[in-house]
Structure 1
Amino acid sequence: MLDPDFDCPHGCDANGFLFDEVTRSAYPCSCREERLRRRMHADMEDNVGRYAPSRFQNLSFDALPLSGIAENHGAAAGTVRRFTSGIEANVRAGRGLWLLGNKGTGKTTLAYYVAQQARVAGLSVLTRNTTDLLNELRESYKPDAQPTTREIINAVTHVDLLHLEDVSVPRPNDWVLEQLYTIVNRRYEYNKAIVFTSDTPFGEKINPESLSDHVGGRTFSRLVQMVGEPLLLTGTDYRMQVGA
């Protein structure tokens, strides 16, 4: 059974098939592909992850924190708003975003807003902190691990939008670089969209090419082709100001 709550105008069965009384045979309804897509997305979320923690749900540019981010980082926020105004077309075309800058400037919130709008548009979204994702892959090698390595790789490959946080944080070694390359290369080959964030320590010059040191040259090259120039957010840590 695919989706018993799906309201098909053609009256197909729960598996997306219609029955031809003349030929006495079943044939797929026009809605079956969409129902299969929804089932796959639901399975991915059940097996391998959440869309967003409570802090980053129900985001709006009419309220904090997005309204404050837009005030302080108008160019980046404007690009995000334009991107999300055509979110379905952008994601289906494999276009993504890279949010780069100092910690606490709003990169994560903007990325979660993109993920939120993609989900509103009916697209599947998988959000992961990069370190957590790599740890989950390590754990998946154990016998009887859930989710399995195959489930994780299938999810990060086929989900409509992959949202990765803190791509520059994991300490690079051969295994880390191999996993990051596998994830990014599979999405690159399938023309799948990715949105990701990376930090530059406050006071240091922002150099987008330095990400290559963290993810490897081959992975960096593919990411740049998938997302284009990064959106820059610089300044002091907003979280520290709020807590002051």
Structure 2
Amino acid sequence: MASAATRTGEHWTCPYELCDGSGIAIDEERGVAKDCRCRPARQRAMRVSGLRSSIPRKYRDVSFDRAPMPSIAAAAPAQVRAVRAYIRDLAENVRTGRGLWLYGTVGTGKTTLAMLVSKAALDAGHSVAIYSLPRLLAEIRTTYDDASGDTYTALLDRLAEVDLLHIDDVGTEKTSEWVLEQLYSIINARYEEERAVIITTNLERDDLATQIHERTVSRLEEMCEVLPLYGSDARRQRYDGPQRDIA
């Protein structure tokens, strides 16, 4: 079965091999042009062009069978099963705007699990935007003085339109009224359009509400399945070298 249309650089490739990437297919027998089957996906991707949609280098080979996933699954089997189930029903979750909210202490696998979902969505042909919240806020700031005309409203429209929005490190940014309004605007736009969101955060529910306001957290709760992750920091190295008495 052909996957959804894909875009490489500025070239659009039709997975059905029915058009030249323009979204227009030629009926050779009748000598007429018609919309290609890939056209809806092509139009969706063009509407969200410019968003950060590539998997970071560290996570490009992420899979359930590769480290650190086996250790994450051993520490949080129910949560990993939930992520597997989400990916298994990815098309329906994206269609209905169902997301995931991953929270827990540092180094417990939140970002790895979120990247598994984003990678699966990209592989399935869905449009995906991947940001840390500080990076997303920085991009919003650039729209205020962007001479190219890429306005705040245009960026917000694209963030509302993309099939899956993945935001890492929610709650780590320095809080200000401006930050709170930007985050609320993004989440509320996706809430109203019933678009899926994946977030990761180190904060539990009430602490996150204190940081980003109750109205934003309330919407996220309705949009997402909440998956807590606990345990030791998997990034922390152990030192097992020679010991000596310290006076």
TM range, normalised to the smaller chain? 0.7 to 0.9
Tell me if 1:240 matches 2:222: no
Match in the other structure for 1:142? 145
Q: 2:24 aligns with which of 2, 8, 16?
A: 16
TM-score by length of 1: 0.83
- Contact (CA 8 Å) 2:97, 2:223: kept in 1 or not? yes
Over the residues paired in the alignment, what is the CA RMSD in angstroms?
Answer: 2.6
- What number of residue pairs does the alignment pair up? 231
Q: Distance in 1 between matches of 2:138 and 2:21?
A: 41
Q: 1:28 aligns with which of 31, 35, 47?
A: 35
Deviation at 1:72, TM superposition (A): 1.4
Q: Which amino acid aligns with 1:154?
A: D
Q: Distance in 1 between matches of 2:207 and 2:60?
A: 31
Q: Distance in 2 between matches of 1:91 and 1:99?
A: 17
Q: 1:219 aligns with which of 203, 216, 219?
A: 216
Match in the other structure for 1:210? 207
Deviation at 1:185, TM superposition (A): 0.5
Relative to structure 1, the CA distance from residue 177 to residue 30 in structure 2 (aligned partners, 3 Å threshold; closer, same or farther) is same
Deviation at 1:139, TM superposition (A): 2.0
Query: Structure 1: where are the runs of 5+ without partners?
Result: 201-206
- Contact (CA 8 Å) 1:98, 1:227: kept in 2 or not? yes
Q: In structure 1, the residue corresponding to 2:189 is in which secondary structure?
A: helix
Relative to structure 1, the CA distance from residue 82 to residue 143 in structure 2 (aligned partners, 3 Å threshold; closer, same or farther) is closer
Q: In structure 2, the residue corresponding to 1:239 is in which secondary structure?
A: coil
Match runs of 1:64-103 below 5 Å: 64-103=67-106
Match in the other structure for 2:4? none
CA displacement 1:212-235 (0-9 Å, x = unmatched): 11221211111110003x211112
Deviation at 1:186, TM superposition (A): 0.5
Q: Which amino acid aligns with 1:16?
A: I
TM-score by length of 2: 0.83
Q: Distance in 1 between matches of 2:103 and 2:205?
A: 8
Q: Distance in 2 between matches of 1:127 and 1:139?
A: 17
